[in-house]
Amino acid sequence: MTTGIRRWTKWLVTCALLVVLAAVGCGPQAGPADPAGPSSQIPQPSRPADPPTATPSPTPQPPLPEPTLQQGSPRLVGQAATPIPTLAPSPSPTPAPTLRQLTSGGCCTQPFWSPDSRQVLFIDEPALDAPMGIWGVDVAQPDPTPELATERIAFYTADMAFLVELSQDTTVIERLADPLTGTGGERWTVPAEGRSISISPGRKRIAWRVSDDDLPFERRMTQVWVANLDGTDARQVATLPRGSFGGWISDDVLLLSGRESLESREHILYTFSLNSGRTTELVRAERLRGGFLSPDGAWLAYYLALDEDPAQNGLWLVRTDGSARRHLDHDLFGAYQWRDTDRLLVIPFRPEAVSHELWELDVNTGETRRLTDPDVIPFKIANGDWTVSPDGRHVAFVEGRDRNIWLLTLMD
C-alpha cells in the first residue's frame, strides 16, 4: 500500500470510529468541587420559541421542565458526595497476560472491536486490487489473516446495529439487518441537518449539538437538541456557554458541561434529566480533561491538571448520581479506559520507561493491581491508540515499535 493510501486510511478511521452511542468525549475543563462550598449557579438548559437550526416534529409537545438544584444542596442533588481517601497502588500477583501480533506491514491505526469481541476491526486497503473497507482479524485464531468485513465505511454504533450517514444538511439513521456485513435495513431522516448524533443506551432517543464552529471557543454558545429515535419530538433542551454535550448516562439523563457565562473561568460538569428537569453538579474547576463514562453510566473518570492546588491534580472518579468521588494516587496518573462497569484500566504516565505497564482499579473497593510486568511483557502503545474488547478480556493496540496491531489478552 502506498504512503498516501495509508495516510488517507488513518483519516478515514477517525470518521468510522465516531460511534454514535454515548461515548464521553467531554471537552469540559472542570474539576472536583467542594461539596461544602458556596452555592453556585449551573448553566440552565433552555428552550427557544422557534427552532433556528433543526426541524422539530409537527406534533406539539409540552415544554420540558427547567432544571433546578435542590435547595440546601447546591453542589450535588441527592446524597452528598464524600471524597474517599486517596487510593495508593499495591502490586499483587496475578496470572500473566499473553501478548501476540495480529497484523503486519505497519497495519493499521485506530483499531476497534466487533460487538462479540471476536474480531479486531480496522480500515484498510491491503492491496491496490483489494477493496477499501473495514477489515478484521479473528482473535480466536492462532495466526489470523485479515478478512474484509464490509466495504461500508460510515459512522456505526458500538454494537454495529445502527449506521449513521451524514451529508451537507441531512442526517440519516439506518437500522442494520446484518451488523457484521453492514447489510442495510430500514432508513429514516432525523432533523439533525447533517450533524453527528448520539443514540441513547436503550436506543430510544438521539441527541446532537448545534454551535457556530467558526467562532472562537471562548465566544461559542452550544445548543443541545434531543429527539426520539425516529426523529419525532425534536426540541432544544440546553444552551451552554463554552460547553458541550458529553453523552448519554441513560435514556433519560444527559451529561453536559458549560460555564455560568462566557466570561466564567470555572467549567461545570453536570447531569440533566429530560423527564424531571433535575440537574446534579458533579465537578467544577478550570482544567478538567478526559471525561470517560463507564459502560453502565454509573461512573465518570476524568483528570485534573495544573490546578492552583497541586493536591487536586491527578486522576479522579465520580459517581454520576453525585454520591461519591475518588482521587487516585498520583502514581496512577496516565491513560485510562474502562474494562467493564466496575474496573478501570490505567497505563501510568512514565516518560522515561522503555515499556508501558497496565494497572487495574476496582471502583467499588478501591483495590488496585498491576496486570503486566514490563520486564516480562514489554510493549509500547503508539499515540494512545488502544482499545478494550467489550467483554473486557483483551486489549488491542498499535505497537510503537513496528506500528502493527498487537493483542494483549488479560487474565482474571
pLDDT tens profile 273-296: 999 999 999 999 888 888 899 999
Q: What is residue 371's predicted lDDT score, i.e. its pLDDT?
A: 96
**pLDDT confidence bin for 100, thresholds 50/70/90:** very high
CATH domain 3-409 topology: Methylamine Dehydrogenase; Chain H (2.130.10)
Query: Among 371, 304, 299, 373, which Cα is nearest to 340's?
Result: 299
Q: What is residue 356's predicted lDDT score, i.e. its pLDDT?
A: 97
Share of the chain above pLDDT 70, in %: 75
Q: What is residue 217's predicted lDDT score, i.e. its pLDDT?
A: 82
**pLDDT confidence bin for 218, thresholds 50/70/90:** confident
Whether the per-residue pLDDT at 32 is higher than 80: the answer is: no
pLDDT tens profile 109-142: 999 999 999 999 999 999 999 999 999 999 999 9
Half-sphere exposure of 151 (CA within 13 A, CB side): 3
Q: What is residue 286's predicted lDDT score, i.e. its pLDDT?
A: 85
**pLDDT confidence bin for 91, thresholds 50/70/90:** low
Distance CA 2, CA 386 (A): 24
Query: Among 192, 196, 230, 175, which Cα is nearest to 15's?
Result: 196
Whether the per-residue pLDDT at 306 is higher than 50: the answer is: yes
Q: What is residue 322's predicted lDDT score, i.e. its pLDDT?
A: 94
Copy the grid coordinates of residue 357.
505497564
Chain mean pLDDT for the chain: 81
Q: Please check whether residue 398 is in contact with residue 109, taking contact to mean a CB–CB distance below 8 angstroms.
A: yes
Query: Among 337, 336, 333, which Cα is nearest to 350's?
Result: 333
Whether the per-residue pLDDT at 10 is higher than 50: the answer is: no
**pLDDT confidence bin for 241, thresholds 50/70/90:** very high
Mean pLDDT, range 300-304, rounded to an integer? 92
Higher-confidence position of 26 and 377:
377
pLDDT tens profile 352-374: 999 999 999 999 999 999 999 99
Q: What is residue 181's predicted lDDT score, i.e. its pLDDT?
A: 59
Whether the per-residue pLDDT at 25 is higher than 90: the answer is: no
Higher-confidence position of 22 and 186:
186
One-letter amino acid identity for 164? V
Q: What is residue 227's predicted lDDT score, i.e. its pLDDT?
A: 98
Query: Among 410, 388, 342, which Cα is nearest to 117's?
Result: 388
Lowest mean pLDDT among 34-43, 154-163, 321-330, 391-400: 34-43
CA distances from 204 to 98, 227, 229, 397 (A): 39, 9, 5, 33
Lowest mean pLDDT among 20-34, 154-168, 333-347: 20-34
Q: What distance lies between CA 78 and its chain's CA centroid?
A: 25
Q: What is residue 55's predicted lDDT score, i.e. its pLDDT?
A: 35
pTM for the predicted model, two decimal places = 0.77
Query: Among 78, 79, 1, 75, which Cα is nearest to 33's?
Result: 75
Q: What is residue 289's predicted lDDT score, i.e. its pLDDT?
A: 81
Element (H, E) at 14: helix 3-16
Whether the per-residue pLDDT at 8 is higher than 50: the answer is: no
**50: number of Cβ within 10 Å:** 5
